[in-house]
Amino acid sequence: MENNPRLLVHFFRQAWPVYALSLSLHFIANLIHVYYPRVLGQFADMLQLGELTRSLVLDYSLLLLLIGIGHVVFSGTAMYLVMYVGRRFESILRGKLFRHFTGMSERFYSSNGVGKLLSYFMNDVSAVRESIAMGFNATSNAVMLFAAALVMMITSGIPLYLIAACIAPMLLIPFIVVKLGPVIRTRSREVQESLGAMTDMAEEQFGGIRVTKKFAVEPIMKGRFGRAVDQITANQLRLVKVSSFFHALIPLLGTLALVIALALGGYLAINGGLSLGSFVALTLYVRMLMNPLQQIGNVVNSIQRSRASLQRLNELLSQSPDIVETEGAVTVDLAKADITLNHLTFAYQPEGRPVLKNIQLSVAAGTTLGIVGKTGSGKTTLMKLLLRTYDPPPGSIAYGGVDVRDMALENLREGIAYVPQDGFLFSTTIGENIAFYRRDAESGRVEEAARQASIFQQIAELPDRFQSKLGERGLTLSGGQRQRTSLARGLIKKAPIMILDDSVSAVDAVTERKILSSIAKERKGKTTIIIAHRISAVKHADLIIVLDEGAIVQQGTHDELLSKDGFYRELYAIQEGGMRHGSQMGEWRET
C-alpha cells in the first residue's frame, strides 16, 4: 500500500488515535484471553496436588467468567471502533468521489461507462474499507493473540521445542489460505458470472417472447437456456472441489497439531517433564490459535485485492477535469450577446477525423437559428461546443465577442437553456424535474412551463399531479412525454439563450405545431437555436443552416432554401410530399 499513499495517508493522519486506542484494546483483550488456558491448567495442577477446595473451585469459575467477559468487552470495543472509522472512511471517500464525478466533463464520461464508474464507487471503496477495518481487526487480533499465547506458554514452563513442534503444522494455514483463497475467489466469480449470464438470457427470452413464439423456435431457445444452466452447474462443481478441499484441510492441520501435542506433550507429562496443567493448557492454546492463523491468510488476500482498488481510486481522483474556468473569467450579458463561430474545426480526438469543419457563422442576439442535417452531420457536436461540454479551439466560439473559454462557467450555463434530444429525466417528482434549474421555483412557474410544453393537461390528470414520482418506483413516461417534460425543464429557465436539440422528435405533428408556436411566443426577442430532423420545426427560423459531414452546405431562410436545388429541398420533398411512397407501393407490387 506504500506506493499510493495519498488517500490512506490523509485518512490515517486523522484516524490514528482511534487505531492506537483500538490496538491497545486488542492487546488488553488478548492478554486477558490467554489466561484462560492457564487458569484451567492451574486448576488441573491444584487438583493433581490435592490442594483444591470448594471455595477455590468457585474462585476459579468466577475467574474464568471474568476472563471471558473482560476479553469480550475489550475486543468488542476494539473491533467496533475500527469498524466505525472504516465506515466513516467509506462514507467520506464516496462523497469525495461524487464531488469528483460532478467536476468531470463529458470526455471523461464517454471514455468511462457508468458501470465502470459505479464499480469504483462500490467495489473499490468497499475493498479498501475492508482492509483498513476488518483487515486491521483480524491482523491485530491474530498477532496479539499469537504473541500473548507464545509468551504464556513459555512462561508457564512448556518447553520451547514442544511449542515449536505443535505450532509448526499450523503455520502452514496462512500459506494455504493465501494459495487457495484466490482460486476459490476466481471460481466463485465464475459461478456468479454464469448466473448472470443465465439471468440475462431469461431477460432476453421473456422480452422477446413474441419473436420466439412467432417463429416457433422454442426448442432452440430451450436448448440455449439449458446450456446456460449447465454452465452454472459445471462452475458450481468446480468451485466446490476447491472450497471443500480447503474447508477440510484447515481442520486437518489443526488436529495434526493436537496429535503432536498429545503424543509429545503426553510423553513429557508421563515422564514428569511437563505438569498436567501445562499439558492441558498446551492443548487449549493449540485450539485457540487455529482461528487467528486462518484469519491472517484472509487478510493477506483481502489486502492484495484492495491494493489494486486503492491504486485505481487514487488514479481516478488524480485525474483533473479538462473543462475548467480560467482565472479571471469574464461574465457576459448573454441577452445582448451575438454568437460568433470563427473557423471552427473540431475533432474529438487530437488526431481524429474532424466532426466539424471550418464553421463560419454569426447569430445575432434575439434571433432564431435553425439547423438541419442527417444523423452524424455534427449538429449535436456543435451544441456541445456552444455549451462548452467540450472545449472548442481557442478563439473559435465567442459570445458577445468574449471567447467561450474565458467565460465564467456559471454565467454560460445558467444563461443557456438546453433541451437534449433523449429527454433524460431523474427519478424524482415531475415538478422537481421541471424545476431542475432551481428546485424551489414556485408552482405557478412550473405549471406555466408545463403548459408551454403541452404536457400540463396530462400531468394534471395524474393522482399526485406535479408531485408524481418518476422512475423505477414510479411512473414510466413514453418518449414523447419525456421529451415534453424535458422541454418544460428548459423553458422554465427563461434563459437569454435556448438550445433545442431535436427536442420534439417523438411528439406527433399536431402537438409539435402547438409546442412550436408556444416556443415562438415565449422566445420572442431571445436567442434560440433549434436543431431538427423535421423541416416543420425550423421553417420559421430567421436563419437556417444545413450541415453535412461537419460543414455548412447551405444557409438562408426557409423560402430562400426552397428556391435552390439542394439537400434542403430534397428533405422537404420527402417529408411534406411523403405520400407518394404509399402510392408507389402498389405499383412495386405489381411489377
Smallest gap from residue 3 Cβ to another protein (A): 28
Q: How far apart are CA 545 and CA 119, in angstroms?
A: 43
Question: Which of the stretches 143-151, 223-231, 345-353, 445-453 binds another protein when contact is defined by CB under 8 A?
Answer: 223-231
Q: Does 18 bind another protein (CB under 8 A)?
A: no
**Considering beta carbons, is residue 99 or 336 the nearer one to another protein?**
99
Q: How far apart are CA 203 and CA 196, in angstroms?
A: 10
Q: Does 587 bind another protein (CB under 8 A)?
A: yes
* Site residues (CB under 8 A) for another protein, limited to 260-289: 262-263, 266-267, 269-271, 276, 279-280, 283
Q: Does 84 bind another protein (CB under 8 A)?
A: yes
DSSP characters for 45-84? HHHHHT---HHHHHHHHHHHHHHHHHHHHHHHHHHHHHHH
| Phi (first) and psi of residue 194, to 5 degrees | -70, -35
Q: What is the largest CA-CA distance in the chain?
A: 121
**Contact at 8 Å (CB) between 489 and 419?**
yes
Q: How far apart are CA 38 and CA 36, in angstroms?
A: 5
Closest CA to 264 of 185, 340, 163, 356: 163
Closest CA to 520 of 544, 547, 491, 545: 491
Smallest gap from residue 491 Cβ to another protein (A): 13
Q: Does 567 bind another protein (CB under 8 A)?
A: no
* Site residues (CB under 8 A) for another protein, limited to 98-117: 98-99, 101-106, 109, 114, 117
**Considering beta carbons, is residue 297 or 490 the nearer one to another protein?**
490
**Considering beta carbons, is residue 17 or 582 the nearer one to another protein?**
582
Q: Between the CA of residue 547 and those of 325, 380, 550, what are the distances in Å?
A: 30, 11, 6
- If you count them, how many residues does the chain have? 591
Pick from 225, 307, 329, 345: which binds another protein (CB under 8 A)? Answer: 225
Q: Does 249 bind another protein (CB under 8 A)?
A: yes
Q: Does 212 bind another protein (CB under 8 A)?
A: yes
Pick from 217, 308, 364, 520: which binds another protein (CB under 8 A)? Answer: 217
CA angle 5, 112, 384 (to 5 degrees): 120
Please give the size of the binding site for another protein, defined by CB under 8 A. Answer: 160
Element (H, E) at 107: helix 106-111
Q: Does 54 bind another protein (CB under 8 A)?
A: yes
Question: Which of the stretches 5-13, 50-58, 297-305, 358-366 binds another protein when contact is defined by CB under 8 A?
Answer: 50-58
- Exposed / middle / buried, residue 399 (Cβ in 10 Å: 0-12, 13-18, 19+): buried
What track of x and - describes contact with another protein for positions 295 through 334 (by CB under 8 A)? ----------------------------------------
Smallest gap from residue 183 Cβ to another protein (A): 15
What track of x and - describes contact with another protein for positions 121 through 160 (by CB under 8 A)? xx--------------------------------------
Q: Does 413 bind another protein (CB under 8 A)?
A: yes
For 511, the grid coordinates are: 402537438
Q: How far apart are CA 292 and CA 255, in angstroms?
A: 16
Pick from 12, 19, 60, 348: which binds another protein (CB under 8 A)? Answer: 60
